[in-house]
Chains A and B, each alone.
Chain A
Amino acid sequence: MLAYISQRLLQAIPVLVGISVLTFAMLHLVPGDPVEIFAGDKPLTPERAEEIRHQLGLDRPLYVQYFDYASHALRGDLGVGLRSQRPVIDSIVEALPSTLELTSAALLLALAAGVSLGIIAAVAHGSWLDTVAMSFAMLGVSVPVFYSGLLLILFFSFRLGWFPATGQGGAERLVLPSVALGLASAAALARLVRSSMLEVLSQEYVVTARAKGLAERAVILGHALKNALIPTVTLLGLQLGALLGGAVVTETIFSRPGIGRLAVDAIGNRDFPLIQGTVLFAAVTYVLVNLAVDVLYAVIDPRIRYR
């Protein structure tokens, strides 16, 4: 088990390095002179340009710049935001809790709703319940987050007045955003759980369990579900990515603070240190989270560990 974990960690390192190279390169891939980006709107004389270039170390060879960037990043120094003049890392740390809150709530919701719906549909296979459930799931997967968010605000906030439409803090402000964000994941999970449950339920060991005289609930929940969840866990990693990406939109719509909104605003403002910092942070987090999911996968499915 430990060997598996360390192996995956080692495999992750080149990817992490690659991410840092890519985020570093962003500044230089943009058409135009990086100096102009840092200078902002102020008029730029050649002397001033040279000054800035030297100040930022842009006159050094690229690989030197990269090592400087990477070593700073490892120490948590991601530069200073152009707009805010605050350390990027501070902005990120400040925005993080809100995004975490949103994403975990959405994930829990998606798991609870998706898995139950999937089980119900599988058990009621072929009936109207199955068809209705899967139609909803299909719709759920087809609705972009920004649309579901807007619809939820329209109905539950403006028309019914049950929940506030914007802001962060308190459970009531969390409901609509997490539903909007979790909807597509719940739908995807429902479909996956249903199909893997159906596949599992037709396997021989289920027939055996039933023949042994086990109560139906024990068969479904105890035997079938555990195995049906294996492909679900692999989907989890993908869903987390979708959730992180969707958080960007959700935070924008519901005017919540968070990493997603930070990134979008940064891109809109061409604030490159902030863009680089948030992208680096998001990608690294995603890689580590996927690693955790892989380990979880190995815990659930012993066959993986011994490859």
Chain B
Amino acid sequence: MAQLSLPAQSKTDQAPPPGRSLARDALRRLAHSNSAIVGGAILLVMMLAALLAPAVSPYDPIKTSQRTSLEAPSAAHPMGTDRFGRDILSRVLWGGRLSLPVGFVSVLIAAAFGISLGLLAGYYGGRLDAVIMRLVDLMLAFPGILLALVIVAILGGSLLNLMIAVGIASIPDYVRIARGTVLSIREREFVLAARTIGAHNTAIIVRHILPNILAPVIVLATLGMASAIITGSTLSFLGLGIKPPTPEWGNMLDEGRGFLQRAWWVAFFPGLAIMLTVFSINLLGDGLRDALDPRLRRK
């Protein structure tokens, strides 16, 4: 397949070293990026912990026990227990099985719909473009989590609805990127050439345009996952997402709120989990962004 270079800036318009594909270049830079390595490692640990929770978690996350209510961190309960005597460590491990997928799936939803809409808008232009962009403006008119809030208010709180709400609220960014890339690539020679030899529109989109979107979308998706996890846990914290007794980091923090003074650990550890996860994703995303920056290709 032809090597495609992203639109180059004037200063760095030299040809990349021969025989180096963008992917291999990027992977090399990624392997040297401190932030990507640290971030990736921490994220891997968090994901493994969530995945293996059923096997690794020391206690049942939902079973209550009045005897052990609100115990401080100890050898038996490294993160203490909550009001109902449930082990916090176990609940944090299990909570990852909800908080992390919310991040993944909502980004998938946002990317799938957003990129499709953006491709359509950019490629076909005209009224379709105008309608889609108005829709995007409308979505952007809602500040922060308000759009996700509204959707959850309409649909009700559940894991699926949370993913949908957060996903829909994130669509505009992907539309913009896809549309922008299409607009900048559409008029270039190889597209005109492809059309001349009778290539179908879909083929053009898939073979020529998609590879160019890949890099910015990867970065956007990574960083988007971080904010999706925050939004999801915020909604659960407000009582609008996943409800107790199902352990989710956000609603665990909500439960811990009332005991902040005498049992700080109930809120502290779930919040730490959120922070650590989001932090690692942001680190990874930063590393990815630097690795995939076309302007650095000359190295």
Interfacial residues of chain A within 1-26, with CB under 8 A of chain B in the complex: 14-15, 18-19, 22, 26
Interfacial residues of chain A within 259-291, with CB under 8 A of chain B in the complex: 263-264, 267-268, 275, 279, 282-283, 286-287
B239 touches A150 (CB 8 A): no
Known: A279-B150, A283-B141. A144 touches B134 (CB 8 A): no
A267 touches B283 (CB 8 A): no
B143 touches A15 (CB 8 A): no
Residues of B within 8 Å of A19, CB to CB, are 138, 141-142
A287 touches B261 (CB 8 A): no
A29 touches which of B154, B257, B283 (Cβ 8 Å): B154
Count contacts between A and B, CB distance < 8 Å.
Answer: 120
Is residue B274 contacting chain A, with contact meaning CB distance below 8 A?
Answer: yes
Is residue B27 contacting chain A, with contact meaning CB distance below 8 A?
Answer: no
Q: Which residue of B lies closest to A264 (CB)?
A: B238
Is residue B149 contacting chain A, with contact meaning CB distance below 8 A?
Answer: yes
Residues of A within 8 Å of B144, CB to CB, are 241-246, 248
Interfacial residues of chain A within 82-129, with CB under 8 A of chain B in the complex: none
A142 touches which of B150, B153, B256, B279 (Cβ 8 Å): B279
Q: How large is the interface on B (under 10, 10 to 19, 20 to 34, 35 or more residues)?
A: 35 or more
A26 touches which of B154, B230, B278 (Cβ 8 Å): B154
Is residue A304 contacting chain B, with contact meaning CB distance below 8 A?
Answer: no
Is residue B163 contacting chain A, with contact meaning CB distance below 8 A?
Answer: no
CB of A180, distance to nearest CB on chain B (Å): 12
- CA gap between A275 and B149 in the complex, in Å: 10
Is residue A249 contacting chain B, with contact meaning CB distance below 8 A?
Answer: yes
Q: Which residue of B lies closest to A158 (CB)?
A: B261
A252 touches B238 (CB 8 A): yes
A146 touches B253 (CB 8 A): yes
CB of B79, distance to nearest CB on chain A (Å): 15
B234 touches A150 (CB 8 A): no
Residues of A within 8 A of B (CB): 14-15, 18-19, 22, 26, 29-31, 138-139, 141-147, 150-151, 153-154, 158, 240-246, 248-249, 252-253, 263-264, 267-268, 275, 279, 282-283, 286-287
Residues of B within 8 A of A (CB): 134, 137-138, 141-146, 149-150, 152-156, 226, 230, 233-234, 237-240, 250, 253, 256-257, 260-261, 264, 267-268, 271, 274-275, 278-279, 282-283, 286
Pairs across A and B, CB under 8 Å, 18 listed: A14-B134, A15-B137, A18-B141, A31-B156, A138-B286, A142-B226, A142-B279, A144-B271, A146-B271, A154-B268, A241-B143, A245-B145, A253-B257, A264-B238, A267-B240, A275-B153, A286-B141, A287-B141
